[in-house]
Amino acid sequence: MRFNAKDLASLARRPSGCFDKEGKLKICRVVGDEKLIEPRERWCRLKGNLLFLMKNKSSEASEVVILERCWIVEFRSKTDVSIVLKFQSGEADLYLEAASKPDCESWAVALGEANSEGLQNKIQQLRRLIMEIKEERSSDEARQFLPSSQVDSLGEPQFTSIQRIANEPKLEFSLACKDLVAATRDRKLNTFIQVSVVHPAEHILTRYTSTEIVEGTRDPLFLTGVTFPPEYPIYEETKIKLTVYDVKDKPQDTVRTSVLPDHKEPRADVGRSFLGCTTFRVGDLIKSKEQQLTLTLRTSDGGKTVGTIEVNLVKMGELEDGETDHITTDAQDQKCALVRECTATEGVSGKDNLPSLNAVLKNPICKLYRFPTSDNKWMRIREQMAETTLSFHVPKELINLHIKEDMRRNQELKDLGELAPHWDNMRKSVIAHCDQMLSMYQDTLAELGKHTGSSFKSSCSKGEKTLEFIPINLHLQRMHVHSPRLKDALYDVITVGAPAAHFQGFKNGGLRKLLSKFEAERRNTGYQCIYYSPENTAKAKEVLSNINHLQPLISSHADLLLNSASQHSPDSLKNSLKMLSEKTELFVHAFKDQLVRSALLALYTARPGCVLKKPAVPRNSAEEGDDLQHQDHPSQIKRQDSIPHHSEYDEEEWDRVWANVGKSLNCVIAMVDRLLEKDNISNVKEGENDPSAADCKVLHTGGDWYEQLYPLVITLKDCMGEVVTRAKQSMAFVLLQELACGLPQCLMLTLRRDIVFSQALAGLVCGFIIKLHTGLHDQGFLQQLHTVGLLVQYEGLLSTYSEEAGMLEDMAVGISDLQKVMFKVIEAKSEDFLPVITGRREHYVIEVQLPAKMFELLPQEIKEGKLLRMYPVLFNVGINEQQTLAERFGDTTLQENINQENLELLKEYYKLFTEKMPPDCLPHFQEQNDLKGLLENLHQNIQAKKRKNVEIMWLAATICRKLNGVRFTCCKSAKDRTSMSVTLEQCSILRDEHQLHKDFFIRALDCMRRCQQVMKQGFSVKVLELRRIFFKRNEGISGAGSDLSSFPLLATQLLKL
């Protein structure tokens, strides 16, 4: 060949950035195994297929090697840093020695790709990439199905639909490869399969999903399968493309089988190389005799065979029989479960549950595993994660109630009537602040009404003001276990971020500290208002609520009584009188409280122009301070005794007004009894003399009944109206004091409490509905539900350091406030099964709607509308590095107090349970592990005050499951720590309750954990040490602490957060 020497010399002298690779190498020629001369150091520059050899970086090129018709021999010894270029022409080999092993490997790769054959490989790879660029959807949209217009076009008769069972996936198959060929002989493959779909109507390649990476074998058995849900437009004519990639070696500490996130490719810095691909028709797989295809994997040009791939059709409804050894391969680490993935909803408790469950659950994702038991049988595990529409529905319902309640309160303040200037100015200030807060609630509700995105709030949105009422990452995590010899079991955990006011921040702490500080300031600091205790203000709100509820009912029953009298219907008259008497008695009983009497007195003194026996002086004035110096008990004057006494005020007047209601009711009852008695006597006499005359008497006396009852009913209404007016004004005056004493802190604390409660309530409603559906056929649970109530156990993983301490304080108050929530189950009258919320801030009733068939399964007590109580408890153990700082340099008193307080609540529930329920209602009850012993063990662990005592969490969770409770697991965002806890809990349940083979515990953990890269982003290296502490309870699994990929199924969705 002829070369232009000047051009080559010019090319060799170009700047460093113009070359593919350059550096120092020791070079010599080799004939056979003998070096002709000792290797000499040369500066080498690679450009295309030309290798320039120079004495130094600035000298002229002394030799040019053309890298064609040659190949590279690379030595695999860890200490050998040399490669040899061998030429087909027979000329002497070129020996190249690098300074280090990495440098040697990089030169080997660069030289191997420099010739024309390497260029052809690059061209083929680019062609393949161009085809993938034409994909219709990105990987993040793979689960979103084709638009309806395309679905309609795919639904034409020429395409053969796949027969399937209702609500079951259309197609499922598992994958395995055999005899894969590596690029070099000693290369250990780390492979995964990318699955793409070619739609028959459009011939467009759509990337659908991918398997996990299986490392270190040429015969990988992939744990992750492929599932097409019922809505996906797939037909027998649809083609599936399977592409196998080899990923570069991972670090030494990476687990043997790591999992790629669904629809995600390896990171660019990891690198991958194309091995082979194949395509098959869906119809061929379905119609195959053994429902299995063995396909040949070929390179992109279709020439070279690089192995085979097995595609096995999977039917979810069939449980495989036989021993576990039949899946064993040469690679011991692959002896694990087959996994399938689906996005189809499945009702575990029966098909009838689907309509009502679909109303609250959304976008479910399922995984199926099979694990060996201790007797070498297979058990099947279905793991499901689902979002819930309640994440937005419950907060919107709650905010709407807050708006109505605040509007009523503002109107009641305005209806207080004329007040003295001091009190009137106070009222105006309070109303102005309340109107601002009301406007904020209305704006928030309007913004939530515009929301059309995801049905849950991601962790990155926790600081958004418009979403502050929405819980973070609220999901259902369900594990359904089907064992060959044990009864099927369901284990549900609701995962949610800790209920907290993230937008408002935690600079001054959380609700627990803020409420305590605010109440102390109200007691000890002078205000220009009257102090009422929190109990009294709560009582005032209750009285107002009873008035608003009972007054229209009494008025309605009074009208019904008059209507019955006008119709001269004795039976109807008796029933109307009974209802009127019951409601009026409740009405009168609501005012049997000293608070109403004292508030009326305080309101009287606040009227303009009244003369006080003891003049009321502003309590924070200098004059009051001088007077208090001469008092023996100044603190008493600051509190309820500061209510002045008026010399002209008649304290018995309220008693007379209040008693008039009862007297008026007694008059009505007496008149009805007299009318009925006369009617009976008259009917008997007239009937004896002339039967036809009795009929005439009915028409004659009908008007008399109405005329005689009408004045008494009007008097009753007037008396009741006077009581209502006075009581409303007095209770509104109490609320005025509460608001005026702490503006604007009082309203801001109310807002913060509403935000935290909204997040907590959304999770509670979701947990109750799921528990009710799964327990419909359990008569013991239903009896427990209406007799005792439902235990709701929260597992907190927050630290007591920095901002998380404030989150824990918010969370503790929010969960405690759930005690004021009651549930009521009603029969649905339409297809809308979403729950309805009624009530006020101090008392809420959640109406859960069930279809008629499901409603009939309930006990009579629940069907009649009995309110069902909730017993929420919270146990918290911080496990991250911040908790280490809190234990060494901070304070853990908050955590200790919360655990101790909630232990007492748990003991109270257990006491009620043992008093009202028979022992056979306990599921999986075992004598050696009874509840009493578990409670005692929990008590000892809480008293021990041991660092990171995760035994508290395990004991509390076990007690909750045995008491048919609802389980919650929470951390800051319901991601990292929550995932660790849920995963370990699931595998421990399989081991302790379902005889999971002890040698497969770690493998089960690996199968249930996802997304190693996401885990690394969320955790620092220091967390690895803490995980060792977190897992130490489980004997024989100390190796689990080194695995970073500790995500359960919910990590699949976390990539979107």
At 376 the three-state DSSP class reads coil
Angstrom distance (rounded) from CA 63 to CA 138: 49
Average pLDDT over residues 336-362: 53
> What per-residue confidence (pLDDT) applies to 817?
96
Q: Which of the pair, 526 or 411, is modelled with greater confidence?
A: 411
Residue type, 288: S
Measure the CA–CA gap between 702 and 695, rounded to whole angstroms. 11
pLDDT in tens, 703-748: 578 888 889 999 988 988 888 888 888 898 988 888 888 788 889 9
Between these two residues, 381 and 263, which has the higher pLDDT value?
Answer: 381
Spacing of C-alpha 396 from chain mean position: 17
pLDDT tens, position by position, 933-984: 999 999 999 998 888 899 999 999 999 999 999 999 999 999 888 988 998 9
Spell out the alpha helix ranges (H) of 452-593: 511-524, 534-566, 570-589
**Catalytic residue status for 366:** no
Q: What is the mean pLDDT of residues 345-363?
A: 61
**Block residue for tokens 């090319």:** 11
- In this predicted structure, the answer to whether residue 1041 has a pLDDT above a threshold of 50 is no
CB atoms within 10 A of CB 905: 16
Selected catalytic residue, list 44, 434, 971, 1011: 971
* CA distance linking residue 380 with residue 319, whole number of Å: 7
Nearest CA to 789 out of 879, 915, 642, 660 is that of 915
pLDDT at residue 926 greater than cutoff 60:
no
**Amino acid 594: pLDDT:** 81
User: Which residues touch 208 (CB under 8 Å, ≥6 apart)?
Assistant: 142, 195, 196, 197, 226, 263
Structure tokens of 338?
Answer: 């087959």
Percent of the chain with pLDDT over 70: 76
Mean pLDDT of 2-11: 77
Whether the per-residue pLDDT at 340 is higher than 80: the answer is no
Confidence of residue 1003 (pLDDT cuts 50, 70, 90): confident
Most confident of the following: 309-318, 519-528, 953-962: 953-962
Q: What pLDDT does 127 receive?
A: 67
Q: What is the pLDDT of residue 893?
A: 92
Q: What is the pLDDT of residue 584?
A: 86
Instruction: Indicate whether 298 pLDDT > 80.
Output: yes
Q: Is the pLDDT of residue 330 over 90?
A: no
Q: Which two tokens stand for residue 1035?
A: 């004997």
pLDDT of residue 139: 40
- Residue 397's pLDDT is what? 96
pLDDT computed for residue 247 by the predictor: 86
Cis peptide leading into 471, omega within 30 of 0?
A: no
Tell me the pLDDT of the chain averaged across its residues.
Answer: 78
- Residue 1029 backbone dihedrals phi, psi, to 5 degrees: -65, -40
- Span 331-348, average pLDDT: 39
Report the pLDDT value the prediction gives residue 809, as an integer from 0 to 100: 96
pLDDT at 782: 94
Return the amino acid letter for 987: C
- Which pLDDT score, from 0 to 100, does residue 923 have? 55
Q: What is the pLDDT of residues 677-703, one digit of tens each?
A: 887 776 665 555 554 444 434 334 445
Rounded mean pLDDT, 142-146: 41
Please compute the mean of the pLDDT values over residues 325-347 and round it to a whole number.
Answer: 38
Angle between the 893-916 and 951-962 helix axes, to the nearest 10 degrees? 20
Question: Which tops the pLDDT comparison, 636 or 908?
Answer: 908
pLDDT recorded at residue 695: 42
CB 808 within 8 A of CB 796: yes
At residue 253 the predicted structure's pLDDT band, cuts being 50, 70 and 90, is very low
Greatest mean pLDDT among 124-138, 588-602, 633-647, 1041-1055: 588-602
d(Cα 220, Cα 214) in Å, to the nearest integer? 6
Q: 882 pLDDT band (50/70/90 cuts)?
A: confident
Q: Do β-strands 93-97 and 40-47 pair in parallel, antiparallel, or remain unpaired?
A: unpaired
**How does 428-448 read in b/e, with b if 16+ C-beta sit within 10 Å?**
eebbebbeebbeebbebbeeb
pLDDT over 60 (residue 38): yes
Q: Specify the higher pLDDT residue, 946 or 1022.
A: 946
Q: What is the pLDDT of residue 1034?
A: 42
Question: What number of other Cβ atoms are within 10 A of residue 109's Cβ?
Answer: 13
pTM of the predicted model as reported, rounded to 2 decimal places: 0.71
Q: What is the pLDDT of residues 157-180, one digit of tens each?
A: 467 887 666 556 678 788 889 999
Spatial CB neighbours of 79, under 8 Å, sequence gap ≥ 6: 101
Kindly give the pairing relationship between strand 305-313 and strand 340-342: unpaired
Q: Are strands 34-35 and 21-31 parallel, antiparallel or unpaired?
A: antiparallel
Lowest mean pLDDT among 321-330, 529-538, 755-764: 321-330
Residue 643: which pLDDT band, with cuts at 50, 70 and 90? very low
Tell me the mean pLDDT in the region 755-774.
Answer: 95
Residues in contact with 412: Cβ distance below 8 Å, sequence separation at least 6, in sequence order: 544, 728, 729, 731, 732, 735
Cα R_g (the chain), whole angstroms: 39
Cα 334 from Cα 348, distance rounded (Å): 30
- pLDDT the model gives residue 1051: 37
What would the pLDDT profile of 780-825 be if each residue is shown by its tens digit? 999 999 999 999 999 999 999 989 999 999 999 999 999 999 999 9
